[in-house]
Amino acid sequence: MSGYLSSLLGLLAVNVIVAYSVFVPAAAGLLNLGAAGFVLVGAYTAGGLSSLQGLPLALAAPAGAAMAGLVAFAVSFPILRTRGIYMVLATFAFAEVVAGVLLNIPALGGAAGLTVMEFAGLDVVVPVALGVVAFVFWLMQTRFGLAVRALHDDESVAQLFGVNLRLTQVAALTIGGAIGGLGGAMLVHQFNFIDVQSTGVLFSIYVLLYVLMGGTQTVWGPLVGALFFTLVPEGLRRLSELDPALKFLEGGRYMVFGVAVVLLMMVRPQGLVTRTMLERLAPGAGARRTQ
């Protein structure tokens, strides 16, 4: 396999992991614009343990996920005191605080970023991504998944049926944060480097778009969204290299991609994958798949 293809698949696997870190809270009706914060916590924790302490990746990555999960649990209480756009701004502010703290830790590279020597490779990153997908599919079929879906559809009705709103939302944010930390651990060990500048607000926006464009109604949505947002821009760039007539795509591929996103929002505001679509594709199985 060429280095280019290996790098693209590694990026896709990381994007899938991080997309599901946003999906779990989004499935509970919580929009998270601070995905970069949890990714950075996991990446710097795992990267610091492996590069500074010599810990193997098999231990450093779970430690990064656990640290991000603990941070998500701690910040969930003040964040959940906000609503609507204020919650989005609160998660964004959290990511900015994390970035500011990491920039002022010289031992972790500061503004220059963190470099690690241990390389994960596709043999590690792809199975981890598949494991995260399988875990979220299982999670959404449990009683917790039913509670999350009920919150997403109508909080008042969910509360009437005995769903503990605050506990379910805290759990969703904590699980999402832990998954984001795991994605950060894979990111820093797949590319052997991470810095705060490249993992900032645009990163969080793109990840949120993976979920919103893919669809929050089903577990398939983040997977489809990550595939679309990772492969389509790169495919446009490759087309511009192969055909001189499409050379304009080299500099304008993001404009073309942006137009495609706007059209998608106009045609399918619920996202690419919806419950109704799954029910039509597999009658009788749609409800089971979207639990």
pLDDT given for residue 248 in this prediction: 66
pLDDT given for residue 287 in this prediction: 46
Which of 107-121, 142-156, 211-225, 264-278 shows the lowest per-residue confidence on average (mean pLDDT)? 264-278
- Determine the average pLDDT of the residues in 237-241: 75
Q: Is 230 among the domain residues?
A: no
Q: State the pTM of this model.
A: 0.90
Higher pLDDT, 250 or 20: 20
Q: Is 241 among the domain residues?
A: no
Give the model confidence (pLDDT) of 156-186 as tens digits: 888 877 888 889 999 999 999 999 999 999 9
Q: Is 240 among the domain residues?
A: no
Q: Is 151 among the domain residues?
A: yes
- Determine the average pLDDT of the residues in 43-57: 94
Q: Is 291 among the domain residues?
A: no
CA distances from 92 to 84, 96, 98, 203, 208 (A): 13, 6, 10, 11, 12
Tokens standing for residue 253:
């591929």
Domain containing residue 155? 3-214
Q: Is 258 among the domain residues?
A: no
Q: How many domains does the chain have?
A: 1
Q: Is 61 among the domain residues?
A: yes
Q: Is 12 among the domain residues?
A: yes
